Every structure is written in structure tokens, then in C-alpha cells.
Structure 1
Amino acid sequence: MPAHTFQTSRPLRGTIRVPGDKSISHRALMFSSLAIGESTIHGLLEGEDVLATAAAMRQLGADIERTGEGDWRVNGAGLGSLLEPKNALDMGNSGTSTRLLMGLLASHGFASTFIGDASLSGRPMKRVIDPLGQMGASFEASTGGTLPLMMRGASPAVPITYRLPVASAQVKSAVLLAGLNTPGITRVIEPVETRDHTERMLTGFGATLEIGEHNGERLIAIHGEAELKPQNVIVPGDPSSAAFFMVAALLVPGSDIVIENVGMNRTRAGIVSALRQMGGSIEEVNAREVGGEPVADLHVKHSPLQGVDIDPAIVPSMVDEFPVLFVAAALAQGTTRTTGLDELRVKESDRIAAMAAALNLAGADVEEHEDGLTIQGTGGEPLKGTPKNALVKTSLDHRIAMSMAVAGLVSRDGVSVDDITPIATSFPTFMNLLEGAAA
């Protein structure tokens, strides 16, 4: 396991580009594989999670080929014409791949087995098993509804109306994808709006969706037995990856960077609003729309930050960015309070506990609650850093590793993390970009 120490940084300068959006990359591969004909994808994130999706779609009959850096060609198998996989579908560390593929295969009449790494095998799948079971799929899961898991899809599946018990874009997407190959209309009601990449991209590929309201909640209806048409997909930069550089530039004195081509979908870009609320200087330049998704270049300059109370309503639009927001809070002036973060307890790790332990080890003042953290900031003073021979436990979680890398840039003695290999699951170029920006 490669441990690594992140040291105090010189100002971050220049223009950088973060990898393609992970959520959109997964969906681009899946939906291209369901269209009949040849699609192209530009800017695909080539991290391990997305490559697990590509490998699974190949097993299901799609012809997928990498033609250059971030450039891929997909000849789809066609919706309803997927092949029964000969081997178990190995999802690696990717919860998104697993939940979306379970949805997709729930309305195909064959059996599939899903396996994953130790971290993924501890994550709850019951939240998708329940609605997909109502549609007719059957499951044999490990104790606690986790992987390894065997599923038999229903053909034909039964359309349902499903109200999400927790705000989850993955559960919503799983039900909508099951509805794609189900006769009739499948409906999902979400009490809180979550990221809407599935709805935008399915519409782009030619599916019929209607979005309306039901008793003040968002209702999404998808018409089954869709015929998807091949597309040329351009993937915007991942706001979750950009967040690490936004926070680093806000915290490291003298920094002034431009992050190009960042997806600014309002169901995803909550981190920008939260950092601006803290006083961060983040300016959107050259705002435009690419492939149905809003995109902008972000000009970020070092700024003194203020502690704030983060509105829990913003959580779904930045659920993956809280670990790095906690780092920003640790160096702000005053107190930052976060609540409503229960979902963070069931990510790649328990991110509330992991970040509380990591930041306290690095010298921050952090108090853990059931659904969030209260952080007393240093007012811009560097963190002390991790004690000699002590390592931050990343728990195989890429976002913990990258968040604590950012903390190391603003520490006196550096921050040592136990393992940086998980970073490759979502951001393979992170280390090189960080070195380049600080050079």
C-alpha cells in the first residue's frame, strides 16, 4: 500500500482540466450500449469505476473500443437484446455501476451475478432490490442485502410508481433504467430533487420522459420499450473532481487558477454555492451548454473563508463533496455546522467518521454528530499536520485520500495518508495535476 505525505504547497497557478464527469461517463457507456448503431464518447473518465462499467457492457454484448485519450466508440447491442453474461459482473469499487446495472438488467429475462471489492461488498443494495423486486426481478443477496448478489430479471417486468424513501440519484436511475425495457409507464417520485443526468441523457438518446409534480414532489415518468438512437456524447469535467482544486486554491495563499470545462448542472454544483457562501472567490467564465449539460470555466482565487451553517437542502447536490468542504471549514474563520448527512455513512467508507478522525489527527477541531460535523476553523492558520509516524486511515476511499491531500497543502508538518491507490478509481491524473499546479 503506497502511503504518501502531502506537504505545504506553493501557490496554485495556471489553467487545469479535470477528468470527465464520473456519473455522466457511466451513463454514456450504458446508454450507448443500448442504442442500435455506433455512438462516440469524448472526454470519458478513464478511472477504474468507469472501466468496470465498460467491461460489464462488453459482457452484455456491446462492442466497446477506446480510440484515443478519453475517446471511445460504442456499437450498441440494442435494448432488450442484451446477452446473458457468461461470468460474474465485477463492479470493483463502483456503487454507481452496480445499482444502475441492476436496474438495467431487472427487465431482461436472464440471471446475472454481481461481485465487487471489499469496500463495495459492504455497501447496501437493498434500496434498489426493493423497487426492482416490485417490478418482478428476483434476488439472492448476501446477508444484509450486499454483494455478492445473484439477480434474475423479469421479462416482461411490471411498471410501478415508486416513491424514493431516501434521496438517491442511483436508486431513481435504477428504477428508470428498469422502466426502459418494461411495457407501459414507470414512475418515480422524489421528495428531494437529485442529480438529473439520467433524465437529461436518456432524453438525448431518444427515450420519452415526462417530468412533473405530484403533491409538491418531483415526478418522473418513463415510457417503456424505448428505442434509443446512437449519439455523439461530450462529457463535461467532473465537479466532484474540480472541488479538490477549488478548495486547494481558496486555501493556499497566492493561488489563482482556472479550471476548464466543469459541469455546472444545478443538481450537482452545490459545492460552488457552499464555498461562495463561505466567502470563496469562484467566478464562472464562458458559461455554455454541451450535450444538454451546462458547463463553465471556473476562475478560483485564494480567499479568506468564513464558517457557515450549511443548509441540509443542498446535500443531494454536493453529497460527494462534503469531505473536501470539511477541509475548507477547518481553515475558515469561526464555526461551520453540517447536518442531514446520513447518506455519507454508507459511501465507500463512513465519510463522517473517517473525516472527523482524519482532520482531528491533522490538528483540526472537529466534533462528530450522528448526521454531520461541527468544525471550529483556524481562521486561515495552517493545520499542524499529522504526528510523526501517524497515518490518516483512508478506508480505501478515494475522496478521503484526496481531501486529506488538500489538507496537507495547508499544514505545517504535512499530512500522511495510508494509501493513495484508491484515487485511481475516480481521478487517475490527480497527483500529476496537483504537482503541476503547484510548480
Structure 2
Amino acid sequence: MPAHTFTSSAPLIGRLRVPGDKSISHRSLMFAGLAVGRSRITGLLEGEDVLATAAAMRQLGAHIEREGDGTWVVHGVGVGSLLEPRQALDMGNSGTSTRLMMGLLASHRLKATFVGDASLSGRPMNRVITPLSEMGASFEASAGGTLPLMMHGAFPAVPITYRLPVASAQVKSAVLLAGLNTPGITRVIEPVATRDHTERMLTGFGAKLEVGEENGERVIAIHGEADLKPMDVVVPGDPSSAAFFLVAASIVPGSDLVIENVGLNPTRAGIVTVLKQMGADIEELDSREVGGEPVADLRVRHAPLTGIDVDPDIVPSMVDEFPVLFVAASYAQGTTRCTGLEELRVKESDRIAVMAAALTAAGAQVEELEDGLIIEGTGGEPLRGTSNASVKTHLDHRIAMSMAVAGLASKDGVEVDDTAPIATSFPTFMELLEGAANTP
């Protein structure tokens, strides 16, 4: 898809529903594939990343079908009964699929090769290779511990206690998933709490899992040689996708938008907390629990935002939402300071440098730090926008969507060099944006 210019928008009005949560979608396919029997999944995010997980699980022996009404039906093969894949597992652009799948297979007697696109092949895998090697799996990776890589699973694997050196839900999940087929108890110590979808959903599928605390750190213990039971999963809307509309409605004057069915898991919904601290008008309607996950409809109305110092402790609960938060900060009154974001430098792109360049090109005042950004807001005035130049997204879906949102309240519009990557996480983004702005 070629470049696209996002211009000053009419108020965003009405109701919309964002796609299913990506983290929960990946896990529902994997865990259903490990259960014995038939699971049904509704609300699955049908983006390219999640479809890569579905394709990989099929190669490992799970039977997965999409029904006409959008429900996915999975007949699982059981923990310990995965088949050796006949060809390389192509993970596309998905770091989550790769790291979780490496964990899943590490305690099975099989070998597997993982490949991915150019962006994924530059992302670090040593963070999962290290603990999985301690459990007995062996790896032949490309230089720097990247894809393509080949793995020999260990059978039986050795249970370990692993203290996470970096706050990463993917590394935690990889170790817990390896523990499913490992005799004994595998433990993960988490100095900083990260998203807990794996723990919630594994418990739902019948795994024996204990979460406790030692010396102020979270400890998760999983009992191996688990028998997972099938279950029906309802996937809540992805807070990472909702974030773009929360910010868009906050900065476009006259907006009054309801985003339905948004997952508000406290380990994920940091963006809502931070936007409220900045003065955003966000109301939670019909709060409820669906499949162990807290959910609500969010009503957001245009409101003046004020710059704040974002607490670095909230970073793990909104790590993917910082690009769009930077946009909100560009329109706020005063200075916003975001630090503790080193992890953003190893995402689909270096999101600190790329967003600094993109926002500067659109007329924002940005100072780049080693671990974050300082942004001087316009006080609600439109950004200039980009004239005669397009913003470089570096094939990163979240950069593309964040700068699209920036364009909605700009004078000259913001041209994004390529909107195709948006399909990896939010295939209906353009359509929903257009619909909300054109609601009579």
C-alpha cells in the first residue's frame, strides 16, 4: 500500500469495536492446541501475527478451523503430543509467536526451525534462548541470537527457577510454557510485574499454577506434565488498539466516542491511567469480567491535556502504547517526560528514535533521551503537519497508526510513507477511523 496522508478530522462520534486482544489471541490458539478436546474462540484478532501462530499450531498437529460466523474451533493434541513440524515455522513479524512457541516446544522431543520476516529476524531471541537452554533445549541461532534459528527440544526437560533479568511477559511465558511438559515445578521470579494473560488463561485451561510473593517480587510456579482441558475463550478488545482512538478522540475537538469491549487487565491498561492523569475525559461503562479478564466500554470525549512526568513503573503495562502517548503529549499543555523506555529501542523499530524523527517532521518539539523522550506540547493548537515529505514508519505498524492519529489534529496533514504494516495488528484501523469521522 502506498503512502497515505491523514488530515484534519471532523469530530470522532459514535460507537466502535476494536479487534480482539493480540496477546490473548496468540495464547488462546496455543493453549487450545495443547488441550485435549475441542475449544471455541470468539473475538480472535485475525491479523497476520495471530494467523502465523495458527499456522504454526497446525504444523504441530492441532486441528484449527474458522467457522463462517468468525468463531475459531480448535481440536488440541495434548501437552507432550505435539508433532515435529515438517517445514520451518514461519513467524512472519510476530515476536510473541516466536518466543512463546520456542518455550512451548523446548520441552518436547522434537526439532524445529524458526524463520521470520526481515524485521523479526533483527529482534533479540537470546533472552528466551538462555532460560530454555538451562532447561535442556539446545539452539543454533544466527549471529546475535536472531532468526533463523534451529531448536532441539529437551525430553525430559529440567525444571528451573528463573529470575527475569528484563521485564518481559514473553520471556516469562516461554519459561512457563516449557514448564507445562517438564516433570516437577518450574518457577519464574518477576522483579517487575508484567502482563499476566498467560497465568490467567493457563489456569482457565486447567493448569496447576501458583502465584505468590517473595521479598516483594512476584513468583509464578507451574506444575509440569499438565493436562489441559478445552475451554471456550471470549477474546476482549485489545487495549493497544483502543489506545489510538482514546488519543484521537482526546485531541480532535468535538469528539465523543464509545469504544466497546476493551480489555482492562491492570497489567496492560496503563495507557488509560496515564491519559486520565493528563486530564483525558475517559469513562468506564458496564465494567464486567469475561473469561477471567476485566472488560469495559470506554467513553472518551475531547478534553484539554496537560503534560506530566510519566512514572517509569507503569512502563510494562503500556510498553506498546508509548508511540501514541507521545502524540497525545505533543498536543498537551506543557512538558511531558517519558523515561525508562529502553525496551522501545528493540521493538519492530527503534520506537524512541523513529517517533522523535516523525513528530519533529510534523512540527512537534521533541528531545530524545537514551531511555525516552521529553515533549513540549502545543497546548491544544494543531501541529503544523508534514509538507512535501512523508513520515518514515520503518515498517512499524504502531508508528504508522500513531502518526495517522497525529495527522487528525494537524494543519497540513501528516503523510505516512506506508500503511501496509498496520494489517499485522489492526486490519480494520483505516475503516474504523473513517467511519468515526464521517458519522452523521
Q: Which TM bucket (shorter chain)? A: over 0.9
Q: Deviations over 1:357-398 (max 9, x none)?
A: 00000000001000000000000000100121x111111110
Give the structure 1 partner of residue 414 of structure 2.
415
Give the structure 1 partner of residue 330 of structure 2.
330
Give the structure 2 partner of residue 424 of structure 1.
423
State the TM-score, normalizing by the size of structure 1. 0.99
Match runs of 1:196-215 below 5 Å: 196-215=196-215
Give the structure 2 partner of residue 2 of structure 1.
2
Give the structure 2 partner of residue 124 of structure 1.
124
CA distance in 1, matches of 2:70, 2:124: 31
> Is 1:56 aligned to residue 56 of structure 2?
yes
Q: Deviations over 1:169-218 (max 9, x none)?
A: 00000000000000000000000000000000000000000001122100
Query: Which amino acid in structure 2 is aligned with residue 185 of structure 1?
Result: I
Structure 1 residue 100: deviation in Å? 0.2
CA distance in 1, matches of 2:301, 2:153: 51
User: Secondary structure of 2:307's match?
Assistant: coil
User: Secondary structure of 2:77's match?
Assistant: coil
CA contact (8 A) 1:24 1:197 kept: yes
CA contact (8 A) 1:45 1:70 kept: no
Query: Which amino acid in structure 2 is aligned with residue 435 of structure 1?
Result: E
Query: Which amino acid in structure 2 is aligned with residue 399 of structure 1?
Result: R
Give the structure 2 partner of residue 233 of structure 1.
233
Query: Which amino acid in structure 2 is aligned with residue 413 of structure 1?
Result: D
Give the structure 1 partner of residue 291 of structure 2.
291
User: Secondary structure of 1:240's match?
Assistant: helix
Percent sequence identity over aligned pairs: 80
> Is 1:138 aligned to residue 141 of structure 2?
no
Structure 1 residue 70: deviation in Å? 3.5
CA distance in 2, matches of 1:91, 1:74: 19
Query: Which amino acid in structure 2 is aligned with residue 82 of structure 1?
Result: L
Match runs of 1:181-330 below 5 Å: 181-330=181-330
Match runs of 1:24-173 below 5 Å: 24-173=24-173
State the TM-score, normalizing by the size of structure 2. 0.99
CA contact (8 A) 1:209 1:223 kept: yes
CA distance in 2, matches of 1:259, 1:70: 20
User: Secondary structure of 2:300's match?
Assistant: strand
CA distance in 2, matches of 1:59, 1:226: 21
User: Secondary structure of 1:268's match?
Assistant: coil
CA contact (8 A) 1:46 1:70 kept: no
CA distance in 1, matches of 2:417, 2:118: 17
CA distance in 2, matches of 1:262, 1:71: 19
Query: Which amino acid in structure 2 is aligned with residue 393 of structure 1?
Result: K
CA contact (8 A) 1:393 1:417 kept: yes
CA distance in 2, matches of 1:216, 1:304: 38
User: Secondary structure of 1:64's match?
Assistant: strand
Structure 1 residue 68: deviation in Å? 3.0
Structure 1 residue 69: deviation in Å? 4.8
User: Secondary structure of 1:189's match?
Assistant: strand
CA distance in 1, matches of 2:68, 2:341: 39
User: Secondary structure of 1:2's match?
Assistant: coil
CA distance in 2, matches of 1:207, 1:350: 37
Q: Deviations over 1:208-242 (max 9, x none)?
A: 00001122100000000000000000000000000
User: Secondary structure of 2:140's match?
Assistant: strand
Structure 1 segments, 4+ long, off by >3 Å, are: none
Query: When the two structures are aligned, how many residues end up with a matched partner?
Result: 438
> Is 1:178 aligned to residue 178 of structure 2?
yes
Q: Deviations over 1:334-359 (max 9, x none)?
A: 00000000000000100000100000
Give the structure 2 partner of residue 355 of structure 1.
355
CA distance in 2, matches of 1:109, 1:133: 14
Query: Which amino acid in structure 1 is aligned with residue 271 of structure 2?
Result: I
